[in-house]
Structure 1
């Protein structure tokens, strides 16, 4: 996935929030508010999981695209930029190979 594709989509989503356009699904989501946006993110996430479980590559790609789009709507609604999320991903990329130590619970106590 190219960075310019993500940036271009983000800019369109941001524009739709700032300027209502009749018939725009993105505008509809912003009009309905955070609860609707979160509901759609949850639905798309679930559909992505099912597609992955079914090992359907084409459907998985479609559902991942849907999830990323709805996540972008959420990002704009929450006032986050691609740079905000990109900084977190870059930080994680720098940590590649560093296995985190997980808290071990003593089930005998």
Structure 2
């Protein structure tokens, strides 16, 4: 790292910085600069970690949303298949009723024809 170590930074505390003032007032004069540097390093590391964590959280949220959308799509497909199979079952049941009616009619006709061949009429 090529830095200008001659560069100095300073700042003034404001009224809302009472907590910082109280902290620095307890630190000996010859340790204040080091304390401030350590606090800034900690803040930079914490901000960086928070940003990484937020990025990971956003990535995970997108993944969960995609999974949810996929699950909803599969759920709708399953409901559609169930509805179509129920409809097909009702049609088959209607067809079975018609077939049984036709079969009963055919049996009646065959029996009548056989009986009439022997001269028995109903």
Which TM-score tier does this pair reach, normalised by the shorter chain?
under 0.3
Structure number with bigger Rg: 2
Greater RCO, CA 8 A, separation 6+ = 1
Task: Looking at secondary structure, tell me which structure has more helix per residue.
Answer: 2
If the length of structure 1 is used for normalisation, what is the TM-score? Answer: 0.26
If the length of structure 2 is used for normalisation, what is the TM-score? Answer: 0.24
